[in-house]
A and B are shown apart, each in its own frame.
Chain A
Amino acid sequence: MVKKLMTGNEAVARGFWEASGRVVSAYPGTPSTEITENAARYDELYAEWAPNEKVALEVAIGSSMGGARSLAAMKHVGLNVAADPLFTVAYTGVNGGLLIVSADDPGMHSSQNEQDNRNYARAAKIPALEPADSAEAKNFTKLGLALSEQYDTPVMLRLTTRISHSQSFVELEDREEIENKEYKKDITKYVMTPAGARPRHLQIEARMVALAEFAATSDINRAEYRSKEIGVVCSGAVYQYVREALPGASIYKLGMVYPLSYQSISKFSQQVNKLYVIEELDPFIENILKSWGIECVGKDIFSLCGEIFPETIASELADCPLPEITKTPSIPPRPPVMCAGCPHRAVFYMFNKLKLTVTGDIGCYTLAAAPPLSAIDSTVCMGASIGMAHGLEKALGRDSSHHTVAVLGESTFMHSGITSLINTVYNQSAVTTVILDNSITAMTGHQHNPASGRDAKGEIAPMLDLAALVKACGVKMVNVVDPFDLAKSEKVLKDSLAFDGPSVIIYRQPCVLLGKTAVNNACIVDPKECIGCKRCLKCGCPALGISEGRAIIDDKQCTGCGLCAGLCPKEAITAAESEGK
């Protein structure tokens, strides 16, 4: 059998392909993104980027109803957006198998919170599988689709960053050819009016009981007996850490984290002297065991916050000494920054200079909240910027909108900003909305979106006309500007702020990493002209620095965007000649 090193995300795409999957719809979000990127590489799979997770799940529900095996993938917070269809597709059930992949991010490597989406499985009453490496990620994807059809339920595949983004060996199998199920009109199953939903609710409660019986008999939940001194219940990446840190401990390894089987776990608990539940984030399993009267220790020792590491487990429960650690003095941190040449930078430099209140959003531009730009006042969730600016005006009075902007990227605008823009028109505030259109969903690693002109497979697609769209919403003042044109950018910003009604500015310039911008030679500092005033440093460009009291530019990083040159009071920085910008 051929085996291959794969990340968990690649393995999910592979499993979906092997299991005769047909339709993938998703919105990007770390750590889930590469599932769809990999699915798009298989000719037999239809894979698309939806504008948001709710749309993605609804597409997958539709294709499942149509009889095709379907998958919707998202990061943990994406499931909040898709929660509405989630709770009711739990009632309708499926036709073709439906897998919902939730990639959680304990430790918040790339997220605004670290919610534990196992809670969604319980709240929506659907089963959840959690793989512990890439091989299981592939196998559980296939099993999840089969269970989905067998029990007429959507199935959650819960991943975490360490599973999605870790590579391990996977055995490759062929694609099974499974026919699509026939689509049959069934009003009692798919039309969830109160009268339709009441009998379905009875069925899902019965389904959960049946699934708990599956949990008791399936080999994806297994007891591994070693020493009887310590028994540990765990799943996912933590299972690997427990094996590493406590090689002698008995383990009850859960592959299905919801529902749980009382019989199996209580039998395991009786075999060991002391039972621990080790799980990241919420005491999800621990609380269920305790509600059954099974004595166990979990969050009394292990934190509710962040990841659990092998060394944490070893230091709490193992009797071996920890290795001696080399100490380092306190050194400067290296937070992420906007790239040299990023077109977002100039806009935030202006916001900072004009001392605007800025309701922010989620994308690369969130990095402008960090010093020296410090040009964002709030970041809550995707799309929140416009609604919050509108709310600020309602709290502070109309004048506040003359020095407030809502700022978001084009992908975020289409994801969930547009409804709030409609609200500013309908409920008549004077919010200025700034859309940073870099023609790609950049933060998550450059995915196409409805305004980029390409689809998930890289094929040409119709390109959304953002300016026409916002005008159609009823916005009277709409401008499209190149952010590298500093003078015009500032004038348009001031005019829009002064305007007594909703206004939109689209700052348009492709992401520098796409390599579409004319790449210029690096800017050059004339050390004789530079007076060391450090004004250029205020734009927060990583290519700049100071050496012996004079500005310096790292020619490896500088793309020659010329923003710093425009800030220099002595014209000591020369922007290199542009090649056809």
Chain B
Amino acid sequence: MTNCCNIIITGVGGQGTVLAGRIISLAAEAAGYDVKVSEVHGMSQRGGSVITQVRFGDSVAAPIIAFGKADIVLAFEKLEALRILPYLTKDGKIIVNNRALLPMPVITGVMKYPDDIEQQILSVYDDAEIFDALALAEEAGNAKSLNIVLLGRLSKLLDWPQNYWTDAIAKAVKPRFIELNLKAFALGRE
């Protein structure tokens, strides 16, 4: 239980965090681990902050990750990356799509979207990977494959054979989107 790897996937409802969680869990299964995943369904999927939590190891008890215990964070949006930092261990790794989606209090002008998010993250996690994952998803052929681009980047941190990932993707997405998503994965991994 103490030797679990804890991954948090965060983003905005509708960005595909649940699917990303499922793919990681399938790959972790292929790697022979015990796995637990906590998903979010329901109200917050309508454009709210969402987190999916994946834990794998020899034996996993709780499906959720405590503050300060996530080893890796995959953030689909910048502000959500900042919001999740209290979950990340001091020596954790964070991968961030550097695009902004404005939350309603910002759209209505009540609050300001911070303009120094990247610096804030880098000041605590200087090896944070912050990049334009959306551009790569579009290059793959569809902005919706953003989640898979980020998984491609994540895959470099876990020393699993690449086919664990590609098999998991093939299992988890609709047949007609497999090719597109494999391309997105490869672009993310490059």
Chain A interface (Cβ < 8 Å from any Cβ of B): 5, 7, 30-31, 33-34, 109-110, 133, 162, 165-169, 237, 240-241, 243-244, 247, 309-311, 314, 322-329, 331-339, 364, 367, 370-372, 443-445, 534, 537, 540-542, 544-546, 554, 556
Contact = CB atoms under 8 A, between A and B. Distances in A.
A30 B43 contact: yes
A544 B102 CA distance: 9
Contacts of B36: 133, 166-168
Given A241-B62, A323-B68, A537-B108, A333 B39 contact: no
A240 B120 CA distance: 34
B102 A5 contact: no
Contacts of B48: 334-337
B104 A310 contact: no
Contacts of B83: 328, 331, 334
Contact of B1 (A243, A325, A335, A338): A243
Contact of A545 (B61, B62, B67, B107): B107
Contacts, number: 184
B170 interface: no
B66 A309 contact: yes
A513 to B, nearest CB: 9
A526 to B, nearest CB: 20
Contact of A110 (B25, B41, B49, B64): B41
Contacts of B49: 333-334
B106 interface: yes
Given A168-B63, A309-B64, A332-B79, A337 B46 contact: yes
Contact of B46 (A33, A332, A336, A534): A336
Interface of B: 1, 12-14, 22, 25-26, 29, 34-49, 60-64, 66-69, 79-80, 82-83, 85-86, 88-90, 101-114, 120, 124, 143
Contacts of B68: 311, 322-326
A125 B104 CA distance: 47
Given A167-B63, A310-B66, 19 more contacts: A5-B25, A30-B42, A31-B41, A165-B39, A166-B38, A166-B39, A167-B36, A322-B67, A323-B89, A324-B68, A324-B90, A326-B85, A326-B90, A327-B86, A333-B105, A338-B47, A367-B46, A542-B104, A546-B107
A546 B108 CA distance: 9
A313 B26 CA distance: 30
Nearest to A443: B43
Contacts of A339: 14, 46-47
Nearest to B85: A326
B76 to A, nearest CB: 12
B63 A162 contact: yes
B63 A240 contact: yes
Contacts of A372: 104, 108
A364 B46 contact: yes
Nearest to A314: B66
A169 B44 contact: no
Nearest to B86: A325
Contact of A311 (B43, B67, B90, B120): B67
10 contacts: A5-B29, A167-B38, A243-B62, A311-B68, A334-B48, A367-B46, A371-B105, A537-B109, A542-B101, A545-B102
A243 B114 CA distance: 39
B47 A332 contact: no
Contact of B35 (A169, A324, A371, A556): A169
Nearest to B81: A328
A166 B37 contact: yes
A333 B63 contact: no
B138 to A, nearest CB: 10
Given A311-B66, A332-B111, A167 B39 contact: yes
A238 to B, nearest CB: 9
B25 to A, nearest CB: 6
Nearest to B1: A244
Contacts of A444: 42
A546 B88 CA distance: 32
Contacts of B43: 30, 109-110, 336, 443
B110 A371 contact: yes
Nearest to A372: B108
Nearest to A9: B41
Nearest to A371: B108
A165 B44 CA distance: 14
Contacts of B1: 243-244, 247
Contacts of A310: 62, 64, 66
B157 to A, nearest CB: 19
Contact of B62 (A31, A110, A240, A337): A240
Nearest to A513: B14
B24 to A, nearest CB: 11
A323 B47 contact: no
A4 to B, nearest CB: 9
